[in-house]
Structure 1
Amino acid sequence: MDASDQLTTEKEYQKLHEEVDLLKTLKHVNIVTYLGTCLEDNILSIFMEFVPGGSISSIIHRFGPLTEIVFCKYTKQILEGVAYLHSNGVVHRDIKGNNVMLMPSGVVKLIDFGCARRLAWASLSGTHSEMLKSVHGTPYWMAPEVINESGYGRKSDIWSVGCTVFEMATGKPPLASMDRIAAMFYIGAHRGLMPSLPDRFSGAAADFVHACLTRYVDF
């Protein structure tokens, strides 16, 4: 941390402290495990479980898009991790191929909780959820309500899961041919329909992605 600017250092430390406090509470096979921290002089080290298989994005970059049978197995595990987070009142806010890591055994781990926040829900149904209104995440995987800052909760993660499945299936997230800013405007537009999976994939896979990338009236 920058020791020359105390205010900046304190803000940086506070942000890291919030992430660590959140990580301490998460224990699930599909969530990367927090091991501990060490503060020495101005260096804060965060120790995490080692996930040697690399990210889904790095695997796609090396070997190309995944087959449907493979990305279905990964998607199931991603959803189990997301379901665990949501049941504990946590929204990840940055689900994408780069933040999904793979163990040699084939177990998937969600990583990078720098954008994650805990919501104080009045009910687990999410109908009385505390809504977050700041832009976090990566444009191609962002839900419309995130871009529009209209307030969002668990559903924004589901949108990002759909984008990640699209990425695993085709090698790139939806709208990757667009400039990042143009993609944000498109996603944020109420009439902007998201692309579908190509016809070579099963109807079930296409329907799943379509369901994830559907705008609902309460967005």
Structure 2
Amino acid sequence: MLGDEIGKGAYGRVFKGLDLENGHFVAIKQVSLENIAQEDLNVIMQEIDLLKNLNHKNIVKYLGYSKTESHLHIILEYVENGSLANIIKPNNFGPFPESLVAVYIGQVCRCKTIH
């Protein structure tokens, strides 16, 4: 179920949603299919394929998608504070101290080794 709009992306709007099966909040990226070029739709489907294969605690989890005649809905894990890009916007908190920048850089760089 779609709730309030929480952001906009290159291809659509993002809403806070409610999973009616379990009561968890989700993020729903809604892409209008009206007047969308096939090339742009292919890019979006590639994004979905990429999201399906990502599994890291610092990357938003892909939960699924649904398609109607007019819209594609990409369902993602809801993250309360949004993206790192949103947090570091100058008008939100101002400049960060180096120690906090180091924490964020460490999280971005951290990955699991595959054996």
Query: 1:205 corresponds to which residue?
Result: none
Query: 2:13 corresponds to which residue?
Result: none
Pair 1:2 & 2:34 matched: yes
Query: 2:3 corresponds to which residue?
Result: none
Q: Tell me which protein shows more strand as a share of its residues.
A: 2
Larger Rg computed on CA atoms = 1
Can you give the 5+ residue segments of structure 1 that lack an aligned partner in the other structure?
Answer: 89-219
Distance 1:27 1:14 in 2: 22
Distance 1:38 1:12 in 2: 17
Question: What residue identity is the alignment partner of 2:67?
Answer: L
Q: Give the direction of change, closer, same or farther, for the CA distance of 1:29–1:17 in structure 2 (3 Å limit).
A: same
TM-score (ref. length: structure 2):
0.59
Distance 1:13 1:46 in 2: 13
In the alignment of these two chains, the number of paired residues is 80
TM-score (ref. length: structure 1):
0.33
Question: What residue identity is the alignment partner of 1:15?
Answer: V
Query: 1:16 corresponds to which residue?
Result: 44
The sequence identity of aligned pairs, in percent, is 34
Query: 2:104 corresponds to which residue?
Result: 74
After TM superposition, list the pairs within 5 Å mapping 1:46-125 onto structure 2.
Answer: 46-60=74-88, 61-80=91-110, 83=111
Q: Deviations over 1:91-115 (max 9, x none)?
A: xxxxxxxxxxxxxxxxxxxxxxxxx
Deviation at 1:2, TM superposition (A): 1.9
Q: Deviations over 1:23-44 (max 9, x none)?
A: 1011111111111000011200
After TM superposition, list the pairs within 5 Å mapping 1:26-65 onto structure 2.
Answer: 26-60=54-88, 61-65=91-95
Distance 1:41 1:53 in 2: 32
Helix, strand or coil for the counterpart of 1:2? coil
Q: CA RMSD in A?
A: 2.3
Question: What residue identity is the alignment partner of 1:48?
Answer: L
Deviation at 1:56, TM superposition (A): 3.5
